[in-house]
C-alpha cells in the first residue's frame, strides 16, 4: 500500500530495529506490546535532534498518496507536520493477548458489539482476521489483509480496524469496524453506515487527507450490477473528539468509477477526483464521461463537491447534446460550433460502429447531420439573423430529400419555416414542429435514441419554446 497508508509498526520490525522517525508517535504503544510477550523484542534507540539545523535537515521518506485505479501522486511531509508529543498510553490497553473464543460471525452488519467484547477479553485482531478469511468473510479490496492498526486520533495508540464482508449473499454486503482504546478498554468508535445503495464498505488506505497532521481512513464502497460497477468512498476523520465521515452527503451516478487523490494543496489537503467511465452494456449506448471534484472545506470541515463536469467526447451524438445544452444556456456561438462539427467532422465516432452494424454506417451520421442543420436554423433566429437562418433552411432541404436519411428533420424544418415566415413567432413555429414530431416519432425521435445512458428526446426538446 505504500508508506502513505501506514499502520502501526509490526513487532518484528521493532525487534529488528527497523523504524523511521515517523514511528516516534507509536513507540509508547510498541513498548507496551513488547512488554506483553514479544520474545526477544527490544525497542529501537531513538536519537533526538539536538538543534534546529538537524530538525530542518532530517530526511523524511517519500510519501505516496494511494489512489483507486489511478497513478499515485508523490509528495513529502516536513518534520513540522509530524506531532512529536503524544499522551502516555492508558494502562492495560490492549490487554494481554489470550486464547479467546471468537464470537460467531453470523451477521457482518451487526458484529460491532461482538468485536469490542472479543478485543476487551484479550482477543487479537490477527486471529479474528484469519477466522474471517477462513469463512470467506474478510474484505480484501484496498488493504489485502482486510484489517489494520492506524492511529487516527494522534494519541499514539493504534486503533483496531477490520473489514467484514458477506460475499455469498444475494448481493455483497459488508462493514468496516473501528475499535478505539478509551479509558483502558476498547470501544466502538466508528462503523460504516448501512448503505447498500452505496455498495460494500471495505478498507482502502490511510493517510492525511485534510492537512491536519492526523491520518484519515479511506473506506471504499463498491457495488456491481449486471454489467457495471460503481464506487464511492467515505473519508473518516478525527473531529470534535470522534471519528466521522466527512464526505458531504451528495451522490453522483458515476458508472465504472475511477477515483484519484490529487495534492497536497497549499493547506495540506487533497482533492478527490471521481470519474464515470462508462456502462458495460450495449443497450446503454456511448457513454459521455463525466467527473466531479471534491475539495476540503476547512470551515465546514467537509469534503464538498464542485459541479459535475462533462469530459470531452469524440462521439457525434455527444456534440448534438453539447450543442443543445449550449443553445439552452443562450451560448449560441458555442451551439453553432457543435452543430458544425456534427455536420462536417469525419473524425467523430458513430454508434453503432460500422464494424458491428454496417447497415447504419451512413444512415445514422446523416440523421444527426439533418437534426444539426435544423437546430442551426433555430440558433440563427435566436441571434436575430434571419438571412443566415434562411440560408441554412435551404441547406437542410437540399441535403435531405424525401426517402433519404434525415428526411424527417427536413419535413419538420419545412413546417417550422412555413409557420415562422407567416407569424414571425418563434414559439408558434416550434409548436407546429412539435406536433409533427409527436405524430412521427420514428422519423425524428427514434433517430436520436442512442441508448439509456444518453438523453431521451421529446417533441418539446427538439424545438424548445421560450417564455
More confident site: 336 or 42: 336
What's the confidence (pLDDT) of residue 227?
83
DSSP tag of 65: E
On whether the CB atoms of residues 30 and 8 are closer than 8 A, the answer is yes
| DSSP reduced 3-state for 164 | strand
On whether the CB atoms of residues 157 and 104 are closer than 8 A, the answer is no
Please give the grid coordinates belonging to residue 395: 441547406
Q: Among positive and negative, which fits the CA dihedral 397, 401, 406, 412?
A: positive
> Residues 391-439: pLDDT tens digits?
999 999 999 999 999 999 999 999 999 999 999 999 999 999 999 999 9
What's the confidence (pLDDT) of residue 267?
95
Is it the case that residue 47 has pLDDT exceeding 50?
no
When mean pLDDT is compared across 83-97, 182-196, 236-250, the lowest value belongs to 83-97
On whether the CB atoms of residues 200 and 222 are closer than 8 A, the answer is yes
Percent of the chain with pLDDT strictly greater than 90: 63
On whether the CB atoms of residues 167 and 137 are closer than 8 A, the answer is yes
Q: Can you tell me the distance from the alpha carbon of 149 to that of 33, in angstroms, rounded to the nearest whole number?
A: 13
| DSSP reduced 3-state for 190 | strand
When mean pLDDT is compared across 165-179, 229-243, 368-382, the lowest value belongs to 165-179
When mean pLDDT is compared across 58-72, 95-109, 303-317, the lowest value belongs to 58-72
Question: Which of 293, 139, 159 has the alpha carbon at shortest distance from 214?
Answer: 159
Most confident among 144-153, 186-195, 393-402 (mean pLDDT): 393-402
CATH assignment of 316-462, given 3.10.590, 3.30.70, 2.30.29, 1.25.40? 1.25.40
Residue 120's φ and ψ, nearest 5 degrees, are -70, -20
Is it the case that residue 153 has pLDDT exceeding 70?
yes
Question: Which of 277, 360, 352 has the alpha carbon at shortest distance from 317?
Answer: 352
Is it the case that residue 189 has pLDDT exceeding 90?
yes
Please give the grid coordinates belonging to residue 312: 470531452
Mean pLDDT of 107-117: 94
What's the confidence (pLDDT) of residue 89?
45
What length is written for the chain?
467
Average pLDDT taken over every residue of the chain: 81
Q: Can you tell me the distance from the alpha carbon of 53 to that of 454, in angstroms, rounded to the nearest whole number?
A: 60
Question: Which of 220, 325, 342, 209 has the alpha carbon at shortest distance from 268?
Answer: 209
What's the confidence (pLDDT) of residue 21?
34
Strand partners of residue 292: 274
> Residues 313-334: pLDDT tens digits?
999 999 999 999 999 999 999 9
Q: Where are the domains of the chain?
A: 61-310, 316-462
Residue 145: pLDDT band with limits 50, 70, 90: confident
On whether the CB atoms of residues 63 and 77 are closer than 8 A, the answer is yes
When mean pLDDT is compared across 63-72, 118-127, 165-174, 258-267, the lowest value belongs to 63-72
Amino acid at each position: 500500500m505504500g508508506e502513505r497508508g501506514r499502520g502501526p509498526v509490526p513487532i518484528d520490525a521493532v525487534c529488528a530495529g527497523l523504524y523511521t522517525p515517523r514511528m516516534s508517535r507509536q513507540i509508547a504503544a510498541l513498548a507496551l506490546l513488547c512488554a506483553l510477550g514479544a520474545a526477544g523484542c527490544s525497542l529501537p534507540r531513538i536519537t533526538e535532534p539536538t538543534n534546529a539545523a538537524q530538525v530542518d535537515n532530517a530526511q523524511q521518506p517519500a510519501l505516496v498518496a494511494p489512489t483507486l485505479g489511478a497513478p499515485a501522486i508523490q509528495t513529502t511531509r516536513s518534520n513540522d507536520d509530524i506531532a512529536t508529543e503524544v499522551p502516555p498510553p492508558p494502562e492495560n490497553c490492549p490487554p494481554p493477548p489470550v486464547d479467546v473464543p471468537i464470537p460467531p460471525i453470523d451477521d457482518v452488519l451487526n458484529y460491532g458489539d461482538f468485536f469490542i467484547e472479543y478485543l476487551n477479553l484479550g482477543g487479537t485482531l490477527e486471529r479474528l482476521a484469519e477466522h474471517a478469511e477462513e469463512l470467506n468473510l474478510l474484505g480484501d479490496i484496498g488493504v489485502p489483509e482486510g484489517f489494520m492498526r492506524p492511529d487516527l486520533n494522534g494519541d499514539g495508540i493504534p486503533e483496531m480496524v477490520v473489514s467484514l464482508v458477506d460475499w455469498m449473499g444475494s448481493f455483497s454486503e459488508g462493514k468496516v469496524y473501528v475499535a478505539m482504546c478509551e479509558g483502558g478498554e476498547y470501544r466502538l468508535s466508528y462503523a460504516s453506515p448501512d448503505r447498500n445503495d452505496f455498495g460494500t464498505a471495505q478498507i482502502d488506505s490511510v493517510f492525511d487527507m485534510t492537512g491536519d497532521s492526523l491520518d484519515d481512513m479511506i473506506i471504499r464502497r463498491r457495488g456491481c450490477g449486471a454489467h457495471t460497477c460503481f464506487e464511492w468512498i467515505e473519508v473518516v476523520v478525527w473531529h470534535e473528539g470522534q471519528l466521522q465521515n466527512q464526505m458531504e452527503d451528495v451522490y453522483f451516478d458515476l458508472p465504472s468509477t475511477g477515483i484519484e487523490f490529487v495534492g497536497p494543496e497549499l493547506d495540506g489537503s487533497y482533492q478527490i477526483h471521481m470519474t464515470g467511465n462508462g456502462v458495460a452494456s450495449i443497450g446503454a449506448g456511448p457513454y459521455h464521461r463525466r467527473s466531479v471534484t471534491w475539495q476540503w472545506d476547512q470551515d465546514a470541515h467537509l469534503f464538498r463537491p464542485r459541479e459535475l463536469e462533462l469530459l470531452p467526447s469524440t462521439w457525434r451524438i455527444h456534440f448534438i447534446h453539447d450543442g443543445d445544452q449550449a443553445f439552452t444556456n443562450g451560448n449560441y456561438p458555442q451551439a453553432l460550433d457543435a452543430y458544425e462539427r456534427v455536420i462536417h467532422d469525419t473524425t467523430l465516432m458513430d454508434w453503432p460502429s460500422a464494424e458491428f452494424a454496417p447497415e447504419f454506417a451512413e444512415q445514422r451520421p446523416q440523421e444527426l447531420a439533418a437534426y444539426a442543420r435544423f437546430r442551426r436554423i433555430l440558433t440563427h433566429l435566436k441571434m436575430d439573423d434571419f438571412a443566415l437562418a434562411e440560408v441554412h433552411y435551404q441547406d437542410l432541404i437540399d441535403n435531405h430529400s424525401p426517402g433519404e436519411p434525415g428526411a424527417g428533420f427536413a419535413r419538420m424544418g419545412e413546417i417550422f419555416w412555413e409557420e415562422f415566415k407567416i407569424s414571425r413567432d418563434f414559439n408558434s413555429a416550434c409548436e407546429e414542429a412539435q406536433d409533427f414530431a409527436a405524430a412521427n416519432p420514428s422519423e425524428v425521435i427514434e433517430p436520436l435514441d442512442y441508448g439509456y445512458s444518453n438523453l431521451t428526446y421529446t417533441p418539446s426538446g427538439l424545438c424548445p419554446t421560450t417564455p
